[in-house]
Each structure stands twice: as C-alpha cells, then as structure tokens.
Homo-oligomer: A and B are copies of this chain.
C-alpha cells in the first residue's frame, strides 16, 4: 500500500467538520490530523505541515474558501484542493477552479465517494460531482453559427492579435478602407460597436 494520504479540512460547521474528520481519519490509507473552521487559522498553521489534500468549504466566515485556496496554494503549491460545498452556482464553480481547486464536490456527496475523490485527486485526477463536471465541460462548447464570412473571420483574428486597420490591410494586401468596411459588417453581425466588444465576443463564442 502507498503512503497514507494526509487530508486537512476547512469547514465552519462543527458537526460536519467533526464527522468528516472521523470518517477520513477512520479510513485505512487516510489520515486527518488538521482541521480548521476558518481560512485565517489555516493560513497561519497549515503550511508548517502541508497535507496532500485539503477539503475546503466555500461559505466561511471571514476569508472565503475560494480566496483561501488562492492564498494557501501560494504557500503550498504541492497540495491539492478539493472544494466541498453546497454552492452550485457557476460563479463559485469557475472561480474555484480558476484559483486552483482541482476538484469540486457538492455536500450531498456520500462519504465513500468523498474518500474516493480524495484518492482521485491525489492520483492526479479532478473529481467533480456529475452536475459540476457537466457545467465545466459545457462551458467549452462552441455556440456555433455566427454568420461571419471567411474573410470577416480572418480579419477578426487579426483584430484579436491587436493589429490596427493599417497593419491588417498591409498583411492582407488590401486597402485600409476595405478593412474598415469589413469591420463595420462584423460589428453589425456581432451586434457590437467597438473592438473590445468584438474581441470579447470572438473569444467567448469561439469564433476565432
């Protein structure tokens, strides 16, 4: 058997924290010697003996779990963070993974699956509750069908590289006037009126 997986818990509700601690510490292959009811204490004490995996709640008094991951991750880059929360809104999910959480479980996850998730994280995976995974995967899906012509997409691509009309015109061997005409049509089709919006839309809708 491999080395025991060292787990820490940050969770403000005593009952849940104690229950989780008991479950983890009582399971062979896992240990949980550190638990906190807020991020501030964790920030002061956790880095002294970094765990392999941290189970992190989001709705905490003081520093939120998301902010906590960001700060703790700096001190313990080798530790994986697994969110364990009731929050299932997009903002919480995406902010969590953006700051470095490697997994995201909802609190209705049965204990056996939480243990499996901890092991999974430790092995290099990213366990997520089914609905969370779906949302993350869906976020990649292209919302196709913007009726931009080939040429317009080409120009949009140049725009995204920060090139101005003149440069684009030179690269495409057309006049600046033409580039501007294309831009006007692109703006109309994308329903925007500035370069900034066009770039945003181009990236978010994966046109480019």
Contact = CB atoms under 8 A, between A and B. Distances in A.
A206 B159 CA distance: 19
Nearest to A93: B140
Interface residues of A, number: 46
Contact of A98 (B102, B134, B142, B200): B142
Interface in A115-150: 120, 123-131, 133-134, 136-138, 140-142, 144
Contact of A94 (B100, B140, B193): B140
A162 B193 contact: yes
- Identical subunits present: 2
Given A130-B123, A140-B98, A203 B204 contact: yes
A165 to B, nearest CB: 11
Interface in A68-126: 70, 94, 97-103, 120, 123-126
A133 B140 contact: no
A161 interface: yes
A203 B206 contact: no
A163 B197 CA distance: 8
Contacts of A162: 192-194, 196-197, 200
Interface of A: 70, 94, 97-103, 120, 123-131, 133-134, 136-138, 140-142, 144, 159-164, 192-200, 203-204, 206
21 contacts: A97-B137, A97-B141, A98-B206, A99-B141, A102-B134, A123-B130, A124-B130, A124-B131, A124-B134, A125-B133, A126-B134, A126-B136, A126-B137, A126-B138, A136-B137, A160-B200, A162-B193, A162-B194, A162-B196, A162-B200, A199-B203
